[in-house]
Structure 1
Protein backbone atom coordinates (compact mmCIF):
# COMPACT_ATOMS: atom_id res chain seq x y z
CA UNK A 1 0.00 0.00 0.00
CA UNK A 2 1.30 3.44 -0.93
CA UNK A 3 2.48 5.71 1.86
CA UNK A 4 -0.41 7.98 2.93
CA UNK A 5 1.72 11.11 3.05
CA UNK A 6 -1.37 13.33 3.38
CA UNK A 7 -2.24 11.64 6.69
CA UNK A 8 -1.46 13.90 9.72
CA UNK A 9 0.46 10.99 11.27
CA UNK A 10 2.91 11.30 8.38
CA UNK A 11 3.47 15.02 8.93
CA UNK A 12 7.10 16.03 9.20
CA UNK A 13 8.30 17.53 12.50
CA UNK A 14 11.57 18.69 10.95
CA UNK A 15 12.06 21.45 8.37
CA UNK A 16 11.70 19.82 4.97
CA UNK A 17 15.13 20.92 3.70
CA UNK A 18 16.87 19.54 6.79
CA UNK A 19 15.07 16.21 6.43
CA UNK A 20 15.83 15.89 2.71
CA UNK A 21 19.56 16.38 3.27
CA UNK A 22 19.74 13.97 6.20
CA UNK A 23 17.49 11.39 4.52
CA UNK A 24 19.78 11.39 1.49
CA UNK A 25 22.87 10.91 3.64
CA UNK A 26 21.32 8.11 5.70
CA UNK A 27 19.85 6.35 2.67
CA UNK A 28 23.27 6.39 1.02
CA UNK A 29 24.65 4.52 4.03
CA UNK A 30 22.35 1.53 3.27
CA UNK A 31 21.68 1.21 7.00
CA UNK A 32 18.00 0.38 7.55
CA UNK A 33 18.31 0.85 11.32
CA UNK A 34 19.62 4.38 10.76
CA UNK A 35 16.63 5.04 8.49
CA UNK A 36 14.30 3.77 11.20
CA UNK A 37 15.90 6.06 13.78
CA UNK A 38 15.60 9.06 11.44
CA UNK A 39 11.93 8.42 10.71
CA UNK A 40 11.10 7.94 14.39
CA UNK A 41 12.65 11.30 15.08
CA UNK A 42 11.43 13.30 12.12
CA UNK A 43 7.75 12.32 11.75
CA UNK A 44 4.71 12.93 13.92
CA UNK A 45 3.93 9.22 14.25
CA UNK A 46 6.16 6.13 14.45
CA UNK A 47 4.12 4.47 11.68
CA UNK A 48 6.67 5.20 8.94
CA UNK A 49 9.52 3.86 11.09
CA UNK A 50 7.46 0.75 11.85
CA UNK A 51 7.02 0.12 8.12
CA UNK A 52 10.80 0.26 7.72
CA UNK A 53 11.11 -2.25 10.58
CA UNK A 54 8.64 -4.57 8.84
CA UNK A 55 10.59 -4.22 5.56
CA UNK A 56 13.63 -5.83 7.13
CA UNK A 57 11.66 -8.45 9.02
CA UNK A 58 12.52 -12.13 8.27
CA UNK A 59 8.84 -12.57 7.43
CA UNK A 60 9.08 -10.07 4.58
CA UNK A 61 8.60 -12.27 1.46
CA UNK A 62 10.43 -9.78 -0.78
CA UNK A 63 13.46 -9.57 1.51
CA UNK A 64 13.79 -5.86 0.71
CA UNK A 65 14.73 -3.70 3.67
CA UNK A 66 14.47 -0.47 1.65
CA UNK A 67 11.17 -0.69 -0.23
CA UNK A 68 9.52 1.94 1.99
CA UNK A 69 12.61 4.11 1.95
CA UNK A 70 12.76 4.06 -1.85
CA UNK A 71 9.10 5.00 -2.12
CA UNK A 72 9.72 7.87 0.28
CA UNK A 73 12.69 8.96 -1.80
CA UNK A 74 10.54 9.00 -4.95
CA UNK A 75 7.85 11.05 -3.23
CA UNK A 76 9.89 13.56 -1.23
CA UNK A 77 7.99 16.43 -2.85
CA UNK A 78 4.77 15.13 -1.28
CA UNK A 79 6.09 15.36 2.28
CA UNK A 80 4.56 18.18 4.30
CA UNK A 81 5.72 19.81 7.51
CA UNK A 82 3.36 19.64 10.46
CA UNK A 83 1.53 22.99 10.42
CA UNK A 84 1.65 25.38 13.32
CA UNK A 85 -1.56 25.47 15.39
CA UNK A 86 -4.13 27.84 13.97
CA UNK A 87 -4.82 30.97 16.08
CA UNK A 88 -7.03 30.38 19.07
CA UNK A 89 -10.05 32.48 19.98
CA UNK A 90 -8.37 35.36 21.80
CA UNK A 91 -5.67 35.48 19.12
CA UNK A 92 -8.28 35.68 16.35
CA UNK A 93 -10.22 38.36 18.16
CA UNK A 94 -7.60 41.06 17.82
CA UNK A 95 -4.90 40.41 20.38
CA UNK A 96 -2.01 42.77 19.67
CA UNK A 97 1.50 41.77 18.74
CA UNK A 98 3.98 41.43 21.56
CA UNK A 99 5.23 44.78 22.81
CA UNK A 100 8.34 43.24 24.37
CA UNK A 101 9.92 39.79 23.99
CA UNK A 102 8.67 37.12 26.39
CA UNK A 103 11.99 36.27 28.00
CA UNK A 104 10.60 33.90 30.66
CA UNK A 105 8.68 31.77 28.16
CA UNK A 106 11.60 31.71 25.74
CA UNK A 107 14.06 30.63 28.43
CA UNK A 108 11.84 27.78 29.59
CA UNK A 109 11.11 26.65 26.03
CA UNK A 110 14.82 26.67 25.25
CA UNK A 111 15.62 24.61 28.37
CA UNK A 112 13.02 22.02 27.29
CA UNK A 113 14.53 21.98 23.81
CA UNK A 114 18.03 21.32 25.16
CA UNK A 115 16.67 18.55 27.40
CA UNK A 116 15.03 16.98 24.34
CA UNK A 117 18.27 17.16 22.34
CA UNK A 118 20.16 15.65 25.28
CA UNK A 119 17.64 12.82 25.64
CA UNK A 120 17.99 11.99 21.94
CA UNK A 121 21.79 11.85 22.04
CA UNK A 122 22.58 15.16 20.35
CA UNK A 123 24.87 16.21 23.20
CA UNK A 124 26.57 12.86 23.73
CA UNK A 125 29.59 13.69 21.59
CA UNK A 126 30.21 16.90 23.54
CA UNK A 127 29.18 15.72 27.02
CA UNK A 128 29.46 11.90 26.63
CA UNK A 129 26.61 9.49 27.35
CA UNK A 130 25.31 9.68 30.91
CA UNK A 131 25.40 5.93 31.48
CA UNK A 132 24.30 4.10 34.62
CA UNK A 133 27.59 2.16 34.55
CA UNK A 134 29.78 5.16 33.71
CA UNK A 135 28.23 8.52 34.64
CA UNK A 136 29.52 11.41 32.56
CA UNK A 137 31.50 14.28 34.00
CA UNK A 138 29.49 17.31 35.04
CA UNK A 139 28.65 19.30 31.85
CA UNK A 140 28.93 22.45 33.96
CA UNK A 141 32.71 22.22 33.63
CA UNK A 142 32.51 22.14 29.83
CA UNK A 143 30.08 25.08 29.79
CA UNK A 144 32.28 27.01 32.21
CA UNK A 145 35.30 26.50 29.94
CA UNK A 146 33.37 28.11 27.08
CA UNK A 147 31.41 30.81 28.88
CA UNK A 148 33.41 31.55 32.06
CA UNK A 149 30.24 31.05 34.08
CA UNK A 150 29.95 28.31 36.71
CA UNK A 151 27.06 25.99 37.60
CA UNK A 152 25.04 26.26 34.40
CA UNK A 153 24.09 22.56 34.39
CA UNK A 154 21.50 21.31 35.09
CA UNK A 155 19.75 24.12 33.29
CA UNK A 156 17.84 26.54 35.52
CA UNK A 157 16.19 28.94 33.08
CA UNK A 158 14.64 31.18 35.73
CA UNK A 159 18.14 32.08 36.93
CA UNK A 160 19.48 33.26 33.57
CA UNK A 161 20.00 36.87 32.70
CA UNK A 162 19.19 37.86 29.14
CA UNK A 163 22.91 37.78 28.27
CA UNK A 164 23.41 34.29 29.72
CA UNK A 165 20.35 33.06 27.82
CA UNK A 166 21.78 34.37 24.55
CA UNK A 167 25.18 32.84 25.32
CA UNK A 168 23.65 29.44 26.02
CA UNK A 169 21.68 29.61 22.77
CA UNK A 170 24.96 30.13 20.91
CA UNK A 171 27.12 27.64 22.79
CA UNK A 172 24.71 24.70 22.42
CA UNK A 173 24.72 25.33 18.67
CA UNK A 174 28.43 24.47 18.77
CA UNK A 175 27.82 21.31 20.82
CA UNK A 176 24.99 19.54 19.02
CA UNK A 177 25.56 16.65 16.59
CA UNK A 178 22.89 14.25 15.36
CA UNK A 179 23.45 10.55 16.17
CA UNK A 180 22.62 8.42 13.14
CA UNK A 181 22.82 5.01 14.77
CA UNK A 182 22.04 3.20 18.02
CA UNK A 183 25.09 1.12 18.88
CA UNK A 184 23.43 -0.71 21.75
CA UNK A 185 20.51 -0.46 24.12
CA UNK A 186 21.28 -0.55 27.83
CA UNK A 187 18.38 -1.80 29.96
CA UNK A 188 20.04 -1.34 33.34
CA UNK A 189 18.55 1.46 35.46
CA UNK A 190 16.68 2.88 32.43
CA UNK A 191 19.96 3.95 30.85
CA UNK A 192 18.57 3.66 27.33
CA UNK A 193 20.20 3.98 23.93
CA UNK A 194 23.91 4.41 23.35
CA UNK A 195 24.27 6.31 20.10
CA UNK A 196 27.00 6.64 17.49
CA UNK A 197 27.89 7.98 14.01
CA UNK A 198 27.43 11.64 14.93
CA UNK A 199 26.82 14.21 12.20
CA UNK A 200 27.32 17.89 12.98
CA UNK A 201 25.59 19.50 9.98
CA UNK A 202 22.06 18.06 10.43
CA UNK A 203 22.27 18.48 14.20
CA UNK A 204 23.06 22.17 13.88
CA UNK A 205 20.50 22.72 11.13
CA UNK A 206 17.72 21.20 13.23
CA UNK A 207 18.85 23.08 16.35
CA UNK A 208 18.95 26.37 14.46
CA UNK A 209 15.42 25.88 13.10
CA UNK A 210 14.00 24.97 16.51
CA UNK A 211 15.73 27.80 18.38
CA UNK A 212 14.77 30.40 15.77
CA UNK A 213 11.14 29.26 16.04
CA UNK A 214 11.28 29.85 19.81
CA UNK A 215 12.74 33.32 19.32
CA UNK A 216 10.19 34.23 16.65
CA UNK A 217 7.07 33.14 18.50
CA UNK A 218 8.21 34.92 21.66
CA UNK A 219 8.78 38.27 19.96
CA UNK A 220 12.59 38.44 19.71
CA UNK A 221 14.14 40.37 16.84
CA UNK A 222 17.09 37.96 16.84
CA UNK A 223 17.87 34.74 15.00
CA UNK A 224 20.79 32.31 14.87
CA UNK A 225 22.68 32.96 11.64
CA UNK A 226 22.72 29.87 9.39
CA UNK A 227 25.88 30.78 7.50
CA UNK A 228 28.64 33.33 7.04
CA UNK A 229 31.34 34.45 9.47
CA UNK A 230 28.72 34.63 12.23
CA UNK A 231 27.08 31.23 11.64
CA UNK A 232 25.62 29.95 14.91
CA UNK A 233 25.64 33.40 16.48
CA UNK A 234 22.65 35.63 17.18
CA UNK A 235 22.09 38.34 14.61
CA UNK A 236 19.36 40.89 13.97
CA UNK A 237 16.42 39.33 12.12
CA UNK A 238 15.47 40.46 8.62
CA UNK A 239 12.58 39.77 6.27
CA UNK A 240 12.55 36.91 3.76
CA UNK A 241 13.69 39.01 0.79
CA UNK A 242 16.71 40.35 2.65
CA UNK A 243 17.43 36.88 4.04
CA UNK A 244 17.62 35.63 0.44
CA UNK A 245 19.99 38.47 -0.47
CA UNK A 246 22.22 37.66 2.50
CA UNK A 247 22.31 33.96 1.63
CA UNK A 248 23.27 34.65 -1.99
CA UNK A 249 25.91 37.16 -0.93
CA UNK A 250 27.47 34.81 1.61
CA UNK A 251 27.42 31.85 -0.78
CA UNK A 252 29.08 33.76 -3.64
CA UNK A 253 32.69 32.79 -4.33
CA UNK A 254 34.51 35.54 -6.22
CA UNK A 255 37.11 38.26 -5.64
CA UNK A 256 34.66 40.24 -3.51
CA UNK A 257 33.58 37.35 -1.26
CA UNK A 258 35.75 38.13 1.78
CA UNK A 259 34.99 41.87 2.15
CA UNK A 260 31.28 41.27 1.53
CA UNK A 261 31.06 38.49 4.15
CA UNK A 262 33.01 40.67 6.58
CA UNK A 263 30.61 43.55 5.98
CA UNK A 264 27.61 41.29 6.61
CA UNK A 265 29.08 40.02 9.88
CA UNK A 266 29.73 43.56 11.11
CA UNK A 267 26.34 44.87 10.13
CA UNK A 268 24.00 42.15 11.40
CA UNK A 269 25.71 41.52 14.74
CA UNK A 270 23.25 41.63 17.63
CA UNK A 271 25.14 44.46 19.33
CA UNK A 272 26.44 46.24 16.22
CA UNK A 273 27.35 49.84 16.99
CA UNK A 274 26.94 52.78 14.63
CA UNK A 275 30.70 52.69 13.99
CA UNK A 276 30.58 48.99 13.06
CA UNK A 277 27.67 49.57 10.70
CA UNK A 278 29.62 52.41 9.10
CA UNK A 279 32.59 50.08 8.67
CA UNK A 280 30.32 47.55 6.98
CA UNK A 281 29.10 50.19 4.53
CA UNK A 282 32.70 51.30 3.88
CA UNK A 283 33.65 47.70 2.98
CA UNK A 284 30.83 47.53 0.46
CA UNK A 285 31.66 51.00 -0.91
CA UNK A 286 35.21 49.81 -1.64
CA UNK A 287 33.83 46.82 -3.55
CA UNK A 288 31.69 49.18 -5.62
CA UNK A 289 34.67 51.49 -6.17
CA UNK A 290 36.63 48.59 -7.62
CA UNK A 291 33.74 47.94 -10.01
CA UNK A 292 33.21 51.55 -10.99
CA UNK A 293 34.14 50.86 -14.59
CA UNK A 294 31.40 48.26 -14.94
CA UNK A 295 28.90 50.54 -13.22
CA UNK A 296 29.69 53.37 -15.66
CA UNK A 297 29.29 50.99 -18.55
CA UNK A 298 25.94 49.57 -17.41
CA UNK A 299 24.23 52.51 -15.67
CA UNK A 300 22.89 55.67 -17.26
CA UNK A 301 25.53 58.39 -17.53
CA UNK A 302 26.48 59.75 -14.14
CA UNK A 303 24.10 57.55 -12.16
CA UNK A 304 26.89 55.50 -10.64
CA UNK A 305 28.19 58.66 -8.98
CA UNK A 306 25.18 58.73 -6.65
CA UNK A 307 26.43 55.54 -5.00
CA UNK A 308 29.66 57.25 -3.97
CA UNK A 309 28.22 60.70 -3.29
CA UNK A 310 26.25 59.28 -0.38
CA UNK A 311 29.28 57.45 1.03
CA UNK A 312 31.55 60.47 0.63
CA UNK A 313 29.25 63.27 1.76
CA UNK A 314 27.49 61.66 4.71
CA UNK A 315 30.47 60.86 6.98
CA UNK A 316 30.58 57.23 5.92
CA UNK A 317 33.89 56.79 4.13
CA UNK A 318 35.84 59.87 5.23
CA UNK A 319 35.70 62.49 7.95
CA UNK A 320 35.97 66.19 7.07
CA UNK A 321 34.19 69.48 7.75
CA UNK A 322 32.16 69.31 4.53
CA UNK A 323 30.41 66.09 5.46
CA UNK A 324 26.99 65.65 7.05
CA UNK A 325 27.26 63.35 10.10
CA UNK A 326 23.85 64.16 11.60
CA UNK A 327 21.60 61.50 10.06
CA UNK A 328 19.41 58.80 11.54
CA UNK A 329 20.69 55.22 11.79
CA UNK A 330 17.81 54.16 9.56
CA UNK A 331 19.60 55.83 6.65
CA UNK A 332 22.75 53.85 7.42
CA UNK A 333 20.66 50.68 7.23
CA UNK A 334 19.21 51.83 3.92
CA UNK A 335 22.70 52.52 2.48
CA UNK A 336 23.93 49.07 3.54
CA UNK A 337 21.08 47.21 1.85
CA UNK A 338 21.32 49.41 -1.26
CA UNK A 339 25.04 48.76 -1.57
CA UNK A 340 24.68 45.00 -0.91
CA UNK A 341 21.98 44.75 -3.57
CA UNK A 342 24.25 46.64 -5.97
CA UNK A 343 27.08 44.19 -5.31
CA UNK A 344 24.64 41.38 -6.16
CA UNK A 345 23.74 43.23 -9.36
CA UNK A 346 27.44 43.47 -10.25
CA UNK A 347 27.83 39.73 -9.77
CA UNK A 348 24.88 39.12 -12.09
CA UNK A 349 26.41 41.43 -14.72
CA UNK A 350 29.76 39.65 -14.45
CA UNK A 351 28.06 36.28 -14.87
CA UNK A 352 26.27 37.58 -17.94
CA UNK A 353 29.57 38.81 -19.38
CA UNK A 354 31.21 35.45 -18.76
CA UNK A 355 28.34 33.62 -20.48
CA UNK A 356 28.65 35.68 -23.68
CA UNK A 357 30.66 34.07 -26.51
Structure 2
Protein backbone atom coordinates (compact mmCIF):
# COMPACT_ATOMS: atom_id res chain seq x y z
CA UNK A 1 0.00 0.00 0.00
CA UNK A 2 1.35 3.41 -1.00
CA UNK A 3 2.45 5.53 1.93
CA UNK A 4 0.64 8.87 2.34
CA UNK A 5 2.78 11.54 3.95
CA UNK A 6 1.82 14.18 6.51
CA UNK A 7 0.90 17.14 4.31
CA UNK A 8 -1.23 14.97 2.01
CA UNK A 9 -2.96 13.27 4.94
CA UNK A 10 -3.79 16.60 6.57
CA UNK A 11 -4.84 18.41 3.39
CA UNK A 12 -1.93 20.86 3.54
CA UNK A 13 -0.21 19.72 0.34
CA UNK A 14 -1.35 21.90 -2.60
CA UNK A 15 -0.32 19.15 -5.03
CA UNK A 16 -2.11 16.26 -3.33
CA UNK A 17 -4.60 16.03 -6.21
CA UNK A 18 -1.82 16.09 -8.80
CA UNK A 19 0.53 18.36 -10.74
CA UNK A 20 -0.13 20.46 -13.85
CA UNK A 21 1.13 19.26 -17.23
CA UNK A 22 4.63 20.88 -17.31
CA UNK A 23 5.75 19.04 -14.17
CA UNK A 24 4.40 15.75 -15.52
CA UNK A 25 6.26 16.20 -18.81
CA UNK A 26 9.48 16.88 -16.90
CA UNK A 27 8.92 13.70 -14.87
CA UNK A 28 8.39 11.76 -18.12
CA UNK A 29 11.71 13.03 -19.49
CA UNK A 30 13.53 11.91 -16.34
CA UNK A 31 11.98 8.43 -16.57
CA UNK A 32 12.75 8.16 -20.29
CA UNK A 33 16.38 9.13 -19.68
CA UNK A 34 16.71 6.50 -16.96
CA UNK A 35 15.18 3.79 -19.14
CA UNK A 36 17.44 4.76 -22.01
CA UNK A 37 20.54 4.61 -19.80
CA UNK A 38 19.43 1.18 -18.55
CA UNK A 39 19.30 -0.20 -22.09
CA UNK A 40 15.54 -0.42 -22.57
CA UNK A 41 15.74 1.16 -26.04
CA UNK A 42 19.04 -0.39 -27.18
CA UNK A 43 17.37 -2.96 -29.42
CA UNK A 44 15.33 -0.37 -31.31
CA UNK A 45 17.54 2.73 -31.19
CA UNK A 46 21.05 1.33 -30.71
CA UNK A 47 23.34 1.02 -27.70
CA UNK A 48 22.92 4.20 -25.65
CA UNK A 49 26.54 4.03 -24.51
CA UNK A 50 27.94 3.63 -28.05
CA UNK A 51 27.46 6.67 -30.30
CA UNK A 52 28.14 4.57 -33.42
CA UNK A 53 25.62 1.87 -32.57
CA UNK A 54 22.55 1.51 -34.79
CA UNK A 55 19.39 -0.29 -33.72
CA UNK A 56 16.42 -1.65 -35.62
CA UNK A 57 15.15 1.89 -36.26
CA UNK A 58 17.86 3.58 -38.32
CA UNK A 59 16.27 7.05 -38.45
CA UNK A 60 14.32 7.61 -35.23
CA UNK A 61 13.35 11.20 -36.02
CA UNK A 62 11.82 10.21 -39.35
CA UNK A 63 10.00 7.27 -37.74
CA UNK A 64 8.48 9.64 -35.17
CA UNK A 65 7.52 12.10 -37.93
CA UNK A 66 6.02 9.35 -40.11
CA UNK A 67 4.13 7.61 -37.29
CA UNK A 68 2.84 10.64 -35.37
CA UNK A 69 2.54 13.11 -38.28
CA UNK A 70 4.33 15.74 -36.19
CA UNK A 71 7.62 17.61 -36.27
CA UNK A 72 9.78 18.78 -33.37
CA UNK A 73 9.14 15.86 -31.03
CA UNK A 74 12.46 14.03 -31.39
CA UNK A 75 14.98 14.06 -29.89
CA UNK A 76 13.08 14.37 -26.64
CA UNK A 77 15.95 16.16 -24.90
CA UNK A 78 15.72 19.06 -27.38
CA UNK A 79 11.95 19.35 -27.76
CA UNK A 80 10.17 18.35 -24.55
CA UNK A 81 9.72 21.93 -23.32
CA UNK A 82 7.34 22.51 -26.27
CA UNK A 83 5.23 19.42 -25.66
CA UNK A 84 1.48 19.74 -25.22
CA UNK A 85 -0.65 17.03 -23.62
CA UNK A 86 -1.32 15.21 -26.89
CA UNK A 87 2.42 15.34 -27.76
CA UNK A 88 3.29 13.71 -24.44
CA UNK A 89 0.72 10.96 -24.88
CA UNK A 90 1.76 10.37 -28.51
CA UNK A 91 5.39 9.91 -27.48
CA UNK A 92 4.43 7.59 -24.61
CA UNK A 93 2.49 5.38 -27.03
CA UNK A 94 5.23 5.53 -29.67
CA UNK A 95 7.94 4.44 -27.24
CA UNK A 96 5.81 1.55 -25.96
CA UNK A 97 6.21 -0.12 -29.36
CA UNK A 98 10.02 -0.03 -29.18
CA UNK A 99 10.92 -0.71 -25.55
CA UNK A 100 12.51 -4.05 -24.64
CA UNK A 101 14.39 -5.45 -21.67
CA UNK A 102 18.03 -6.29 -22.22
CA UNK A 103 19.44 -9.57 -20.93
CA UNK A 104 23.23 -9.59 -21.12
CA UNK A 105 25.03 -12.83 -20.27
CA UNK A 106 28.75 -13.49 -20.29
CA UNK A 107 29.61 -16.81 -21.91
CA UNK A 108 33.02 -18.53 -21.70
CA UNK A 109 34.67 -19.13 -25.06
CA UNK A 110 38.06 -20.89 -24.90
CA UNK A 111 40.56 -18.20 -23.87
CA UNK A 112 38.12 -15.28 -23.72
CA UNK A 113 34.57 -14.40 -22.76
CA UNK A 114 31.78 -13.32 -25.08
CA UNK A 115 28.81 -11.18 -24.07
CA UNK A 116 25.53 -12.56 -25.42
CA UNK A 117 22.72 -10.00 -25.49
CA UNK A 118 19.06 -10.90 -25.93
CA UNK A 119 15.97 -8.72 -25.65
CA UNK A 120 12.52 -9.39 -24.20
CA UNK A 121 9.92 -6.99 -25.61
CA UNK A 122 7.03 -8.13 -23.39
CA UNK A 123 9.11 -7.75 -20.21
CA UNK A 124 10.31 -4.34 -21.38
CA UNK A 125 6.77 -3.18 -22.07
CA UNK A 126 5.58 -4.33 -18.64
CA UNK A 127 8.37 -2.37 -16.94
CA UNK A 128 7.82 0.66 -19.18
CA UNK A 129 4.10 0.64 -18.44
CA UNK A 130 4.76 0.52 -14.70
CA UNK A 131 7.20 3.45 -14.90
CA UNK A 132 4.94 5.54 -17.13
CA UNK A 133 1.89 4.97 -14.96
CA UNK A 134 3.86 6.21 -11.98
CA UNK A 135 4.41 9.41 -13.98
CA UNK A 136 0.77 9.68 -15.06
CA UNK A 137 -0.31 9.18 -11.44
CA UNK A 138 1.31 12.57 -10.75
CA UNK A 139 -1.00 14.32 -13.23
CA UNK A 140 -4.00 16.24 -11.97
CA UNK A 141 -5.97 14.65 -14.84
CA UNK A 142 -6.75 10.92 -14.65
CA UNK A 143 -4.96 8.86 -17.32
CA UNK A 144 -3.06 5.59 -17.52
CA UNK A 145 -1.16 3.51 -20.06
CA UNK A 146 -3.12 0.32 -20.69
CA UNK A 147 -1.68 -3.14 -21.39
CA UNK A 148 -1.95 -2.57 -25.15
CA UNK A 149 0.12 0.60 -25.04
CA UNK A 150 -2.67 3.18 -25.30
CA UNK A 151 -3.09 6.19 -23.02
CA UNK A 152 -6.68 6.04 -21.81
CA UNK A 153 -8.85 7.61 -19.15
CA UNK A 154 -8.28 5.97 -15.80
CA UNK A 155 -11.12 3.67 -14.84
CA UNK A 156 -13.24 4.18 -11.76
CA UNK A 157 -11.85 2.60 -8.60
CA UNK A 158 -12.99 -1.00 -8.28
CA UNK A 159 -13.54 -1.56 -12.01
CA UNK A 160 -9.89 -2.20 -12.93
CA UNK A 161 -10.22 -6.03 -13.12
CA UNK A 162 -12.91 -5.92 -15.79
CA UNK A 163 -10.62 -4.01 -18.16
CA UNK A 164 -7.63 -6.28 -17.60
CA UNK A 165 -9.64 -9.54 -17.82
CA UNK A 166 -9.58 -11.35 -21.16
CA UNK A 167 -12.84 -12.30 -22.84
CA UNK A 168 -13.44 -16.07 -22.60
CA UNK A 169 -14.42 -16.61 -26.23
CA UNK A 170 -12.84 -17.83 -29.45
CA UNK A 171 -15.01 -15.45 -31.46
CA UNK A 172 -12.42 -13.05 -32.90
CA UNK A 173 -15.04 -10.63 -34.26
CA UNK A 174 -16.78 -10.36 -30.88
CA UNK A 175 -13.45 -9.76 -29.14
CA UNK A 176 -12.54 -7.07 -31.65
CA UNK A 177 -15.90 -5.31 -31.20
CA UNK A 178 -15.63 -5.29 -27.41
CA UNK A 179 -11.98 -4.21 -27.36
CA UNK A 180 -12.66 -1.42 -29.86
CA UNK A 181 -15.60 -0.18 -27.77
CA UNK A 182 -13.51 -0.19 -24.59
CA UNK A 183 -10.70 1.72 -26.29
CA UNK A 184 -13.11 4.27 -27.78
CA UNK A 185 -14.87 4.81 -24.44
CA UNK A 186 -11.63 5.34 -22.52
CA UNK A 187 -9.71 7.16 -25.25
CA UNK A 188 -7.93 10.41 -24.47
CA UNK A 189 -10.30 13.32 -25.19
CA UNK A 190 -13.19 11.07 -26.23
CA UNK A 191 -16.31 13.19 -26.75
CA UNK A 192 -19.68 12.36 -25.21
CA UNK A 193 -20.89 11.29 -28.66
CA UNK A 194 -17.93 8.91 -29.06
CA UNK A 195 -18.51 7.44 -25.61
CA UNK A 196 -22.20 7.02 -26.45
CA UNK A 197 -21.22 5.18 -29.65
CA UNK A 198 -19.06 2.83 -27.57
CA UNK A 199 -22.07 2.02 -25.38
CA UNK A 200 -24.14 1.38 -28.52
CA UNK A 201 -21.48 -1.06 -29.73
CA UNK A 202 -21.63 -3.00 -26.46
CA UNK A 203 -25.43 -3.05 -26.70
CA UNK A 204 -25.00 -4.58 -30.15
CA UNK A 205 -22.69 -7.24 -28.77
CA UNK A 206 -25.28 -8.05 -26.10
CA UNK A 207 -27.92 -8.30 -28.82
CA UNK A 208 -25.83 -10.96 -30.54
CA UNK A 209 -25.61 -12.84 -27.23
CA UNK A 210 -29.32 -12.49 -26.49
CA UNK A 211 -30.26 -16.10 -27.39
CA UNK A 212 -27.70 -17.36 -24.86
CA UNK A 213 -28.83 -14.82 -22.26
CA UNK A 214 -32.31 -16.34 -22.10
CA UNK A 215 -30.89 -19.39 -20.34
CA UNK A 216 -28.12 -17.65 -18.40
CA UNK A 217 -29.60 -14.34 -17.18
CA UNK A 218 -32.92 -13.67 -15.44
CA UNK A 219 -35.53 -12.56 -17.97
CA UNK A 220 -36.31 -9.33 -16.08
CA UNK A 221 -32.61 -8.37 -16.01
CA UNK A 222 -32.37 -9.07 -19.73
CA UNK A 223 -35.39 -6.87 -20.47
CA UNK A 224 -34.04 -4.06 -18.29
CA UNK A 225 -30.70 -4.01 -20.10
CA UNK A 226 -32.30 -3.63 -23.52
CA UNK A 227 -34.98 -1.22 -22.29
CA UNK A 228 -32.22 1.11 -21.12
CA UNK A 229 -30.59 1.02 -24.54
CA UNK A 230 -33.89 1.64 -26.33
CA UNK A 231 -35.51 4.22 -24.04
CA UNK A 232 -32.45 6.47 -23.81
CA UNK A 233 -31.89 6.73 -27.54
CA UNK A 234 -28.83 4.52 -27.53
CA UNK A 235 -30.06 2.32 -30.33
CA UNK A 236 -33.26 2.59 -32.42
CA UNK A 237 -34.50 6.16 -32.77
CA UNK A 238 -38.14 7.04 -32.14
CA UNK A 239 -40.09 10.00 -30.75
CA UNK A 240 -40.47 8.52 -27.25
CA UNK A 241 -36.75 8.08 -26.64
CA UNK A 242 -34.69 10.27 -24.36
CA UNK A 243 -31.16 11.57 -24.87
CA UNK A 244 -30.77 13.54 -21.62
CA UNK A 245 -27.99 11.30 -20.29
CA UNK A 246 -24.90 12.69 -18.59
CA UNK A 247 -21.32 11.35 -18.41
CA UNK A 248 -21.93 9.60 -15.08
CA UNK A 249 -24.90 7.75 -16.51
CA UNK A 250 -22.89 6.70 -19.57
CA UNK A 251 -20.17 5.37 -17.26
CA UNK A 252 -22.71 3.36 -15.30
CA UNK A 253 -24.39 1.73 -18.30
CA UNK A 254 -21.04 1.07 -20.01
CA UNK A 255 -19.74 -0.82 -16.97
CA UNK A 256 -23.03 -2.72 -16.69
CA UNK A 257 -22.98 -3.82 -20.33
CA UNK A 258 -19.31 -4.79 -20.23
CA UNK A 259 -19.78 -6.77 -17.01
CA UNK A 260 -22.83 -8.54 -18.46
CA UNK A 261 -20.89 -9.54 -21.58
CA UNK A 262 -18.18 -11.05 -19.39
CA UNK A 263 -20.83 -12.79 -17.25
CA UNK A 264 -22.63 -14.38 -20.20
CA UNK A 265 -19.41 -15.53 -21.87
CA UNK A 266 -18.04 -17.02 -18.66
CA UNK A 267 -21.29 -18.83 -17.95
CA UNK A 268 -21.22 -20.20 -21.48
CA UNK A 269 -17.64 -21.34 -20.96
CA UNK A 270 -18.54 -23.10 -17.70
CA UNK A 271 -21.48 -24.89 -19.32
CA UNK A 272 -19.27 -26.09 -22.17
CA UNK A 273 -16.74 -27.46 -19.70
CA UNK A 274 -19.43 -29.28 -17.75
CA UNK A 275 -20.99 -30.68 -20.90
TM-score range, shorter chain: 0.7 to 0.9
1:336 is the counterpart of 2:254: yes
Which one of 228, 240, 258 corresponds to residue 310 of structure 1? 228
Distance in 1, matches of 2:217 and 2:244, equals 30
Of the structure 1 ranges 142-151 and 103-112, higher mean CA displacement relative to structure 2 is found in 142-151
1:189-338 paired onto structure 2 within 5 Å: 196-226=117-147, 231-239=148-156, 241-248=158-165, 250-255=166-171, 256-338=174-256
CA 1:140 to 1:331, structure 2 compared with 1: closer, same or farther past 3 Å? same
For structure 2, the 5+ residue unaligned runs are 108-114
For structure 1, the 5+ residue unaligned runs are 1-82, 185-193
Deviations 1:187-244 (A, max 9, x none): xxxxxxx983121111111000010011113333000111xxxx11100101453121
Moved over 6 A (4+): none
Following TM superposition, by how much is the alpha carbon of 1:99 offset from its aligned partner in structure 2, in angstroms? 5.1
Distance in 2, matches of 1:183 and 1:240, equals 45
Which one of 71, 81, 90 corresponds to residue 7 of structure 2? 90
1:152-191 paired onto structure 2 within 5 Å: 152-155=74-77, 156-181=79-104
1:121/1:195 contact within 8 Å kept: no
What TM-score do the two structures reach when normalised by structure 1? Answer: 0.65
**Corresponding residue number in structure 2 for 1:107:** 25
1:245/1:341 contact within 8 Å kept: yes
CA 1:221 to 1:206, structure 2 compared with 1: closer, same or farther past 3 Å? same
Distance in 1, matches of 2:135 and 2:51, equals 35
Deviations 1:117-175 (A, max 9, x none): 11111112222125557265774344333332136214243322222112111111112
Deviations 1:44-93 (A, max 9, x none): xxxxxxxxxxxxxxxxxxxxxxxxxxxxxxxxxxxxxxx75x44432333
Following TM superposition, by how much is the alpha carbon of 1:251 offset from its aligned partner in structure 2, in angstroms? 4.4
CA 1:151 to 1:167, structure 2 compared with 1: closer, same or farther past 3 Å? closer
Following TM superposition, by how much is the alpha carbon of 1:317 offset from its aligned partner in structure 2, in angstroms? 0.8
Between Structure 1 and Structure 2, how many residues are aligned?
260
User: Quick one: higher RCO (CA 8 Å, sep 6+), 1 or 2?
Assistant: 2
What TM-score do the two structures reach when normalised by structure 2? Answer: 0.83
